[in-house]
Each structure stands twice: as C-alpha cells, then as structure tokens.
Amino acid sequence: MKSTVQRARAGDPEAREAVVRCLTSRVNSCSRYYSRRCGVDVDDLRQEMWLGIFEALQRVDVSIGDPVQYLLSHGRFALLTSLRRRQKDNPGPDEAAEQVPVDGSLERSVIDGQVVQTFVSSLDTTAHRIVSCLLQGHSRSETAKLLGCTPANITYHLRRVESSLSALLAAESRAAYAGGAR
C-alpha cells in the first residue's frame, strides 16, 4: 500500500482510485458513527473526512509508519474540526438552556416561582442543559443525542435533579408548616 500511496501523492489517478477504494469503508463507518452521535448529515461528515484525507495525501511520508493510518487520522481530525466549527456556530442545547423561562409559570399551584428559580439556579451546567431539553419536549434518548452522551447518563443526572428537588420541596414544606403554626 505504501507504493500506491506514494504514486497517489505524485498524482497518479489510478493510484488515487486505489487509495479511495481502500479507505471507503472506513470513511463511511467513521462518518456514520459521528453522524449518529452528533446528528449531523452523514454525507457532510464524509465529505469533510475525504477533504482531510486528500489534504494529508500531499504531506504523507510513506517512509514513516503506516500511511493509511496517517491519512485516516487526518481525515478524522478534519471531520472533528468541522463538528467543532458547527457546534460553535450553532450551540444547540447550550443556547436553549439560556432561553428556558424560569419566571414562575411552571405550575404555580404546586411550586411557587421563587422555589423554581432557586432550584434551577442551583443546578450544575449539565443538569441545567438536560432539564432544558426535557422542558422543550425532547425525550431522554433525544436529549442524550443532543448532548452527546448516553441515555444512562441522562437518567443518572435526572435522579440527582429529582433528589435535589425533593430535598428543596421538603425544606419549603417544613418552612411553610412552621410559618403557619405560629
């Protein structure tokens, strides 16, 4: 394969086709994986990876290591750089977390607005993002995909949020009872 990569680097179209055939299944697999994880179109990711591979083809030194691994790692790097750029341009759940209304409109008959504000402000960033996604109507699976984690991770954080909320409501209930008993 080293001689094929060397010929492809020199501009031999047949050698380039051989490199493409050799890498196609791995590029497709990697693109599908990151597409599932990030919700980005698989064809866009595949294109970014091929661009990275063909840029690296011009710099590859076949005398050092495995040129196929070099090309794949640079293709993956280009794909991940593209994802970071997209995330910077379109923050998604982070931005949505900032827009969650916490004005006391969430079931005032059960929880007073002050308690909600106190509770939401006490959440860590991850929990805040999760709650925001769920309040927007996303399922746990969708929330996991949006945040790039597993549904089990979402469940773990929700258990922590629920126990914090229970503790806060118990404290508020005790305070209300103590205030009414005077």
Q: Which amino acid does the sequence have at 12?
A: D
pLDDT one digit per residue (tens) for the chain, 182 residues:
778 877 887 888 888 888 888 888 888 888 888 888 787 787 888 888 888 888 888 887 777 778 888 888 888 888 888 888 877 766 554 444 444 444 444 444 344 556 666 677 777 888 888 888 887 888 888 888 888 888 888 888 888 888 877 777 777 777 766 765 55
Are residues 47 and 80 both part of a single domain? yes
Q: Could you tell me the CA-to-CA distances from 128 to 96, 135, 140, 160, 172 in Å, in that order?
A: 10, 10, 14, 12, 21
pTM, whole model, 2 decimals?
A: 0.47
Are residues 134 and 111 both part of a single domain? yes
What residues make up the domain containing 142? 93-180
Q: Which of 36, 68, 89 is the last residue of a domain?
A: 89
Nearest to 58 by CA among 15, 13, 3, 5: 5
Are residues 82 and 130 both part of a single domain? no
User: How many domains, the chain?
Assistant: 2
Q: Which of 70, 89, 108 is the last residue of a domain?
A: 89
Q: Which of 39, 71, 89 is the last residue of a domain?
A: 89
Are residues 64 and 122 both part of a single domain? no
Would you state the pLDDT for residue 89?
A: 66
Are residues 115 and 58 both part of a single domain? no
Which CATH number goes with the domain that contains 80?
1.10.1740
